[in-house]
Amino acid sequence: MNNVGLHDAEVVTPAEVHRAARAFAAALAETPQFTAFKQADEALSNDTEAQQALSRLQAKAKSLRALLMLNAVSDAERAELDGLRDAYLTRATVRASAAAEGELTGLCQQAARIMSAATGMDYAATCGASCCG
Amino acid sequence: MNETVAFPPALQEATDRLIHALLGSGSFLAYQGSLAQLESDSQARGLLERLSMLQVALRGKQGAGQINQADIEELRAVQSKVRVHPAIIEYAQSQQGAADVLREVNQEIRQVLGMDFAALARSNTC
């Protein structure tokens, strides 16, 4: 990180920092990766069969949650759960959405790495982001 | 996804401008100043190193069930000194200020994108 003295640097106002943040977001929104992600996400939202497959998968997983935690699911139930999962994950819109999200994630990770290296603070960790909820 | 993808020039330029704005903000200037102060303060660095060493040693002893009262008292004594050291306090406070600016930036980005940029940037960690 650069050591910039307090007295020999012109202080950037909070409004200018926020403006730069919005400009960064706008530039990210114009990338092919972001556009592709939005399109894939919309296609997935409009795919009623995929949404139904997801609902069936979630309902089955919920009904088996306690048994899954105890690792006590029968082979037949596990096969049914795996089948429902495959039915969802192999749909073209789901695969396209996952691929587009992966591309966008890669781009965001690169941008965050650049910012973290320049500022000396881990951007994602500082902002409290967690994929684990 | 961990692989490096082509970084669009327009996004690179916007990233550079955002970094420039962040580093020029009052909070980051204060953070950099206090970091330099901390790095040049041998007493403060010594305290932090001692604290870190004690914490590591205690974790090891904890696993083996060997912690005694003297260990705990030594840790508390060092923690007390760390908490009142001016250079360390200044550094911790300024770091928090810089972190607040980063969170504001992320919120601004989220409002434009409709998505949490930081969450996307971290989604490979699980």
pLDDT truncated to tens, each residue of chain A (133 aa)? 444 444 455 699 999 999 999 999 999 999 999 999 999 999 999 999 999 999 999 999 999 999 988 888 899 999 999 999 999 999 999 999 999 999 999 999 999 999 999 999 999 999 975 544 3
Question: What residues contact residue A81 under an 8 Å CB cut-off, 6+ apart?
Answer: A57, A60, A61, A64, A73
* Whole-Å CA distances, B42 to A3, A72, B46: 19, 58, 6
Structural domain range at position A104? 14-111
Q: Specify if B11 maps to a domain.
A: no
The ipTM of this complex is 0.82
Q: Which of residues 80-99 of B touch A (CB under 8 A)?
A: 95, 98-99
Q: Kindly list the residues from chain B whose CB atom is less than 8 angstroms away from the CB atom of residue A15.
A: none
At residue B1, the pLDDT reads 46
Residue with tokens 């090891």: B60
Q: Which of residues 97-126 of A touch B (CB under 8 A)?
A: 102-112, 114-115, 118-121, 123-126
Q: Is residue B34 part of a domain?
A: yes
pLDDT, position B88:
96
Query: What pLDDT does B3 receive?
Result: 52
Q: Is residue B42 a contact partner of residue B32, using CB atoms and an 8 Å limit?
A: no
If one counts the domains in chain B, the total is: 1
CATH of the domain at B97: 1.20.1500
